[in-house]
Structure 1
């Protein structure tokens, strides 16, 4: 049982090293995970693209997912809004 607990603790420590609480990875990249259908992220990304947003300080709104979508555009305007960070298709 002690070995199991030690293994679980090591896994938790390793995961903490991979992603910080703010979503930033060690390489400085921030990912924006969708909670359900990603429509807010897509809307924010598309809005930022249509409005030529180039600074995350211009990303605002009533929805955190919309803001994150806008920020995702600023960080990588070439990625498109039809896929998430893992390359999975975004639901509309």
Structure 2
């Protein structure tokens, strides 16, 4: 087999191989890219002192999930604080 033919086969095979991507998560929620929407929702909820997931709203699913993440994280700690 010639070197040119082998190179061409490798080039074509590389083009059809699926790309491997590692999904990121933010506190258990899947991120589509860099989790910045989730972080923004989490930070917003923290700044507003949101205590209920029903108060998490918006046009971005990732923002809402970030807000819900904050509520879930703080519900656990407030339940423990209530036991005193």
TM-score (norm 1): 0.50
Return 5+ residue gaps in structure 1 as ranges.
1-29, 78-92
Aligned residues: 49
Aligned to 1:7: none
Return 5+ residue gaps in structure 2 as ranges.
1-26, 75-84
Aligned to 1:12: none
| 1:73 aligned to which of 67, 70, 74 | 70
Q: Which has the higher contact order (CA 8 A, sep 6+)?
A: 1
- SS of residue paired to 2:50: coil
Query: Which has more strand, going by share of residues?
Result: 2
Aligned to 1:48: 45
Aligned to 2:59: 62
Return the alpha-carbon distance in structure 2 between the equivalents of residues 54 and 41 of structure 1: 17
Runs of 4+ in 1 over 6 A off after TM superposition: none
Return the alpha-carbon distance in structure 2 between the equivalents of residues 72 and 32 of structure 1: 8
- SS of residue paired to 2:51: coil
| 1:33 aligned to which of 10, 30, 34 | 30
